[in-house]
Amino acid sequence: MKYVKVKRLEGVAVLSSPAAGPRLAYLGPSEARLAGQELTVRGAGRSLSAPARPAYAVLLVGEDDPVQRLLNGFAADLRRVSRELGARYRASRTSYLFTCLALVFSFFTAGMFFRVTRWPLANVLLAFLVLRCWLFLFRWLREGVAGELAKLAGAPRLASYLPEAALLALGALLLLVDLLFLPYDRWRGEQAGA
């Protein structure tokens, strides 16, 4: 509102909560006033106020949106992996490269989920879910299981490579399934009518 030069508005429609009576009201010509973070609109004998926010705010989802929570969790997993890679890089270049190899190989082989079904959007969602599971598995093995295994086995160096070994094993299994069971050119068969 601070960029609007004229404070006079024409044709103001108001959508209110169901408890406030009619949900949709037409105010006609109105006057707008912005005081701090409060926007006040007066017209047709009514005065309405609401917190001022940018016009693009309606395009953004709120924190309580389930999709936003999923994306926040994915970003948090990526931050954890990034911190882990940074720690590995500072500790040893060999362990850093082994961790990178395990992550890249397991993510690459998870690409088979892009061809599992004939519905592309379902494949993308499935691949996204699998990548999220890979990141969760990596974190769970690194933070929980590897420490306990190091205490039990007495070999902390060997136990520190458990997450990478698990990702490489799962990646190898997915690669085997991909090569043996999934047709690479499914789209050609569908175009031919098979």
Tell me the average confidence (pLDDT) per consecutive run of 10 residues in the chain, 194 residues long. 54 65 70 76 76 60 70 82 89 90 91 82 87 86 79 74 89 89 65 61
pLDDT value of position 194: 53
pLDDT value of position 120: 84
* Rounded Cα–Cα distance for residues 98 and 108 (Å): 15
pLDDT value of position 180: 85
Among 111, 92, 107, 74, which Cα is nearest to 161's? Answer: 92
CA distances from 185 to 55, 114, 119, 149, 176 (A): 47, 12, 14, 43, 17
pLDDT value of position 21: 63
pLDDT value of position 1: 37
Longest dimension (CA), the chain: 79
pLDDT value of position 2: 37
> Which amino acid is residue 192, in one-letter code?
A
> Which amino acid is residue 115, in one-letter code?
R
- Burial 113-141, CB ≥16 within 10 A → b, else e: bebbeeeeeebeebbeebbeebbebbbeb
E strand or H helix at 151: helix 146-153
Q: Are 42 and 31 in contact (CB under 8 A)?
A: yes
* Rounded Cα–Cα distance for residues 2 and 5 (Å): 8
Count the neighbouring beta carbons within 10 Å of the beta carbon of residue 81.
Answer: 17
Domain range annotation of the chain: 8-59, 66-183
